[in-house]
Amino acid sequence: MGGHAAHGLSETVEVGLLFLLTVEQKRHFEEEGYLLVQGLFGPDEVKEIERTFEEISGRIIPGYYTPDLNTETSDPLKRYPRVMHPHRFNETAKKYMLHKPVLDALRDLYGEEPLAAQSMFYYKPPGSRGQALHQDNFYLKVEPGNCIAAWTAIDPADEENGGLLVVPKTNNYDIVCPDTADTNESFTTHYVKPPKDRKAVPVRMDKGDVLFFGGNLIHGSYRNKTKDRFRRAFICHYANASAASISAHYRPLFHADGTEAHLEANPDGGPCGIETGSAYVH
């Protein structure tokens, strides 16, 4: 776990049933734009997520998960595409989208109640392309305020199997119109070039670790260069409760108790990253 210490993260503090971030952790998020919290999901919770999405991987769920189950393909993401909004059809996904330690950490980061907007699951099998650098709030369009992602590692994630890249201190960088990505390396079409004085750095994670990052932070992922390691991840996005609007693609949102929360539809925005060959045009 020594790689995590390089990100200047301190231990978490637990008081009763309430999960609290330290002052140092909140400062790191504010200054760097992201925060890695180790072991926020326990081993049994990770196993339940694994079992749930292993079962989902063998079927087609129109509108949410459409794998090619019948033919051989040179693109492993055809067989294992990402699952979009699993909380809309699976109670386990919804339960972990509303995972109390995650919501408590988000409450500290926002300084107010978080609302759950989206869930996704990435299988990222061996040989999969990565995702070019991008900014999440280009798609979610949370206004006023911002989205925050909670990116949970279901497998260890590193440079070899397609782990995350972040560009520190770009959390206050304006949302920009993206360039076109190299689709030989990225399964999505958008690319945001980092500022000249900023470089992307890897974030190494173990099972159950969660990376929180703001909607303006430039981030992406490596190609999975391994022959036998998946890089599965459960990824959720959240909005601050004081926000007035969000892209219609993410409505309805949810309170911590699972009841729906309704923000106005922002006419801009769309799915989180436009896949190559997608009919959706931003």
pLDDT at residue 200 is higher than 60:
yes
How many whole angstroms separate alpha carbon 194 and alpha carbon 198? 6
**245-247 and 131-134 beta bridge pairing:** unpaired
Rounded average pLDDT over 171-193: 94
Question: Percent of the chain having pLDDT more than 90?
Answer: 85
Residues 43-50, mean pLDDT to the nearest whole number: 98
pLDDT at 72: 78
Q: What is the mean pLDDT of the chain?
A: 90
> Which one is predicted more confidently, 32 or 277?
32
> What pLDDT sits at residue 268?
75
Q: What is the dihedral of CA 155, 160, 163, 169, to 10 degrees?
A: 150
pLDDT in tens, 9-35: 334 444 444 557 999 999 999 999 999
Half-sphere exposure of 81 (CA within 13 A, CB side): 24
What domains lie within the chain, and their CATH numbers? Answer: 2-6+23-266 (2.60.120.620)
Peptide bond into 125 cis (omega under 30): no
Which pLDDT score is estimated for 269?
A: 62
- What's the average model confidence in pLDDT over 34-52? 98
Residue, of 277 and 264, whose pLDDT is higher: 264
Sorted by sequence, the CB contacts under 8 Å of residue 281 that are 6+ apart come out as 274
Report yes or no: 84 and 188 within 8 Å, Cβ to Cβ: no
Task: Report residue 221's pLDDT band, with 50, 70 and 90 as the boundaries.
Answer: very high
Written as six digits, the tokens of 238 are 């959240």
How remote is the C-alpha of 167 from its chain's centroid? 15
Q: Is the dihedral of CA 279, 56, 158, 116 positive or negative?
A: positive
- Distance, in Å, from the CA atom of 95 to the CA atom of 55, rounded to the nearest integer, reads 17
Helix (H, G, I), strand (E, B) or coil at 7: coil
Token pair in block for residue 65: 């998960």
Whether residue 191 contacts residue 273, with contact meaning beta carbons closer than 8 Å, is answered with no
What pLDDT is attached to residue 73?
78
Q: Round to whole Å and give the CA distance between 264 and 108.
A: 25
- φ, ψ of residue 130 to 5 degrees: the values are -85, -165
pLDDT value of residue 134: 97
pTM score, two decimals?
0.89
CA angle 54, 58, 64 (to 5 degrees): 90
Pairing of strands 260-261, 233-240: unpaired
**Nearest Cα residue to 253 out of 145, 105, 115, 136:** 115
Cα 65 to Cα 89: distance, rounded to the nearest angstrom: 11
What pLDDT score does 20 carry? 77
Overall average pLDDT of the 133-150 stretch: 97
